[in-house]
Amino acid sequence: MKTISTSKSHGGVQGVYSHASETCGCDMTFAVFVPPQAADGPCPVLWYLSGLTCTHQNVMDKGEYRRMAAELGLIVVCPDTSPRGEHVPDEKDDWQFGSGAGFYVDATEAPYAANYRMYSYVTRELPALVAANFPADMARQSIFGHSMGGQGALTIALKNPGRFRSCSAFAPIVQPSTADWSKKAFARYLGADQRAWRTYDTCALIEDGARFPELLVDQGEADGFLQDGLRPWLLEAACKDAGIPLTLRMQPGYDHSYFFISTFMDDHLRWHAARLAQ
């Protein structure tokens, strides 16, 4: 693991690191905030998954999470969204596919299967690296994310309910198998058989029997992607049918940006910290 930068913030340390990923077949970059409480022992880990077109840098610069994470004693890990590099297949003119649009799936179709393995990267390789190099209490983990990262957080939590104490999302893509934003990417990463898509689709996973103790979702009512890409009412219906407690907060006037995310970031951090403390 290579240290790219470290900066003191709110008594803790914000670092950016890179490593050669066997899972993704390229160098991967990620950010970790370690709170001041880590000087006294391991701290719980909160994973933040970013959205389409983003890297670790977006939430690090605009998410405004460090003050509250330092107060609550949370390690916050922010992976990249996709594999990157000259040899990694990409479509630079399409923001909904390729680098920046990994959708947290393990691709099975050529030529993407060699690199686009973000599900395994986030659930296996990167946690092992964090456990080995940071004062992390891996017995206490939670996960959240934004948009595509909200989709990733929800699906990962539903598929690994024993690992995460809590899960929340900002404006998640709740049914990517039918959303205009993601259908093309799912077809190219996972193939034409839509049964394979269901394992990375929050609503489909719930319909197929996956469960999680409770979920928190914030959604801006002025989000320009609400109708075509996000559609939180589908998640609301799926959770109601499955008996999963869902707190869905529709926020008047808020859009899809980090102005929205940063406004409610403290709420989510407190919500996760309460469950990580149990």
User: Strand 12-21 vs strand 26-34: parallel, antiparallel, or unpaired?
Assistant: antiparallel
Paired strand residues for 247: 216
How many CB atoms lie under 10 A from the CB of residue 250? 14
CATH homologous superfamily for 2-277?
Answer: Alpha/Beta hydrolase fold, catalytic domain (3.40.50.1820)
Instruction: Report residue 93's pLDDT band, with 50, 70 and 90 as the boundaries.
Output: confident
Report whether 1 contacts 28 (CB < 8 A): no
Distance in angstroms (rounded) separating the CA atoms of residues 84 and 125: 16
Taking residues 147-174, what's their average pLDDT?
Answer: 98
Q: Are 81 and 102 in contact (CB under 8 A)?
A: yes
The residue annotated as part of the active site, out of 106, 201, 218, 223, is 223
Which of these is catalytic: 147, 166, 168, 182?
147
Q: Which of 80, 99, 201, 256 is catalytic?
A: 256
Q: Is 256 a catalytic residue?
A: yes
pTM reported for the whole predicted model: 0.97
pLDDT per residue over 97-134, tens digit each?
A: 989 999 999 999 999 999 999 999 999 999 999 999 99
How buried is residue 37: exposed, middle or buried, by Cβ count under 10 Å (0-12/13-18/19+)?
Answer: buried
Bridge partner residues of 46 (DSSP): 76, 142
DSSP string, 214-247: -EEEEEETT-TTIIIII-HHHHHHHHHHHT--EE
